[in-house]
Amino acid sequence: MAFIPIFVTLCSLFVLREAFKWLRMIAKARSIGLPLVFVPIDQTNFLWIFFASRHRFRLRRLLPSWLWHRISITIPGWELFEPSNPHQRNLAGRVDSRETSFTLVGPRSYEFWTADPQLSNEILRRIHDFEQPRELEFLLAKFGPNVLTANGDQWSRHRKIVAKVINERISKAVFEKSIYYSQTLLHDLLPTSPAKNSSIETTMLFDRLTEISFSILIGVGIGDKFPWYNEENQEPQPPYQMAYKDALLTYVNNAFGLAILPPRILNHWPSWAPGHAKMRKVGRSMTEFCMRNQSLIDQEQVRIAAGETGESSPPDFLTLLVQASQGGNGDKRTTLSQNEMISNLFAFTAGGYKTIAGALDFAVVLLARFPVWQDWLIEEIDTLIPDAEDAAENLEYTTIFPAAIRTLAFVLETERLYGSASRLFRVSSGPQTLQTSSGTTIRLPAKTRVHINVVALHHSSSWKDTNHESDPAHYKPITSIPDEARFRPSRWINTAGSPTLHFHPPRGTFVPWSQGPRICPGQKMAQVEITTLILCLLRRHRIEPMRVQGETLREVERRLDAELRDLQWAGIVSLEKGPGLGFSTSQRR
């Protein structure tokens, strides 16, 4: 019987300890000085994140509305499914000039959320005060730190080297690869005839653009060091068991899932356990990606040691990365290790592929949904490329891309409303002081989890009624939708006489590629690729939605609007493409 008092005492001590920790956490959260939003679920729990993000809509149907409204903001991606200013609901009834910021408090942790442009700008500018979270290492740093995951002096070293690599030579290579692969992989979906009346209906456009995007990234990433583009038709050469493209695609598609586990666990997953084949395949893809690129780096280092600079050959990311790192003469402060090079190559490929492919999906639907903007782009494209018969390989990056003003504006507006990042996550390295747009000072304790609500920033009133003078004459806005929530690419084009061609939003209001010193190094590369592929799609053709029998124009518009609202979040934002979502591509010249 003596056991019972001991057990009760231990339980009491445990409860008291947890209560003390919770009260101390509440005190820290209150010290920030912002409204507190309490939730009954630990929003940082991995199992909850994994489960809830996959069953969001089922939970919404099953749970009482009062409970759903309380826990929905603990599910990653909640900011996509709220009103244009999702903070207002959580702060309903409170009169507070800081309504764009609040503190989310769960049972075990608290988080600071903001959609204040001034705070966003400060947080992203102060890279040593607000660091990348450790969680990112599990996703993108399996082989070692890279420019996306590193912090402090380590990040500075990576950034200096990567900045030398992703330059105008890479942008030019992206432009040329985009044209090449669009010709190679889209020819059957963009039919032409002497009569100029060819057309086709297809549901394959999304898949083909995804394949093009992936091929561009591999081509720019490793070049033509070996015939990776033909490997799928051949048996892999020992010691490899997978084609390079298959291994990389498998790894990238599972980066936010199974690939979180170490390769040694995946490669030795028991044959009797569920998911054995999938686990082994993902593990093998990670192992082979590392092996392949170790071999390529070794070859490049041997070539450089032999004095072969290769300036005349098309540049690729891996070659330039090795060359930039070799320039440090062995000084670890100015070079990257082999594993760090592989890690940066993976970040370059994985980050670029998912975000660019997602943007292309949205761009195609938007072209079909808004013919007024497609006509606007076609008008520019016909001016840039007046001769439709001119060979695509004759198009020059330095001539075409800088003049594609409207097409780039279309890309920027797509990123504003449908960008891949719905939030930006940082962690305060120590106690920090910030000032809000209203002039109020707030203080964040050390190790505070900080989230910038990108969706709310991109829908803020600062975007309202910008550059209406640039709207096409035949543009008729949907008056039931606020201007800041409308898809209106012309807002990005300044009027004649302005110091810049494109509109520069106020700091902290446009952050699809982040902002400040840690802005995505591949921003220009992504803009070049998406812009060039839109030019290739519309150069001779027009894209229209494939209609269901008997469907009216208004019904088509409603269906496409519903598709644009049907989003999913799995680390990044993407379109939940419904079955049968197809397009008609018709030759126009």
* Binding site per annotation, positions: 520
Per-residue burial over 260-274, b = 16 or more CB atoms within 10 Å of its CB, e = otherwise:
ebebeebeebeeeee
| Strand, helix or coil for residue 575 | strand
What order of strands is seen across the sheet that includes strand 541-545?
Answer: 199-202, 583-587, 541-545
**Contact of 128 with 152, CB cutoff 8 Å:** yes
Per DSSP, which regions of 293-436 are E strands? 423-428, 432-435
Instruction: Round to whole Å and give the CA distance between 561 and 487.
Output: 11
As to burial, measured by CB atoms within 10 angstroms (0-12 exposed, 13-18 middle, 19+ buried), residue 407 is: buried
**Contact of 366 with 419, CB cutoff 8 Å:** no
Instruction: Round to whole Å and give the CA distance between 578 and 563.
Output: 7
Measured from the Cβ of residue 536, the count of other Cβ atoms closer than 10 Å reads 22
As to burial, measured by CB atoms within 10 angstroms (0-12 exposed, 13-18 middle, 19+ buried), residue 580 is: exposed
Instruction: Round to whole Å and give the CA distance between 99 and 85.
Output: 10
Amino acid at 559: R
Amino acid at 283: G
Instruction: Round to whole Å and give the CA distance between 96 and 75.
Output: 25
- Of the candidates 432, 460, 457, 453, the one whose C-alpha atom is nearest the C-alpha of residue 33 is 432
- Of the candidates 537, 444, 394, 349, the one whose C-alpha atom is nearest the C-alpha of residue 101 is 444
Rg of the chain over Cα atoms, rounded to whole angstroms, equals 26
As to burial, measured by CB atoms within 10 angstroms (0-12 exposed, 13-18 middle, 19+ buried), residue 9 is: exposed
Query: What's the start-to-end Cα distance of the chain, in Å?
Result: 92
Q: Which two tokens stand for residue 163?
A: 């900045």
* Residues of each annotated binding site for heme: 520
Measured from the Cβ of residue 439, the count of other Cβ atoms closer than 10 Å reads 8
Query: Angle of helix 338-369 relative to helix 276-305, nearest 10 degrees?
Result: 110
Per DSSP, which regions of 163-301 are E strands? 199-202
**Contact of 499 with 124, CB cutoff 8 Å:** no
Instruction: Round to whole Å and give the CA distance between 236 and 225.
Output: 16
Helices (H), ranges, 539-578? 553-565
- Of the candidates 147, 65, 235, the one whose C-alpha atom is nearest the C-alpha of residue 521 is 147
- Of the candidates 328, 142, 156, the one whose C-alpha atom is nearest the C-alpha of residue 251 is 142
If phi > 0 it is left, if psi is from -120 to 50 it is alpha, else beta; for residue 450 that is beta
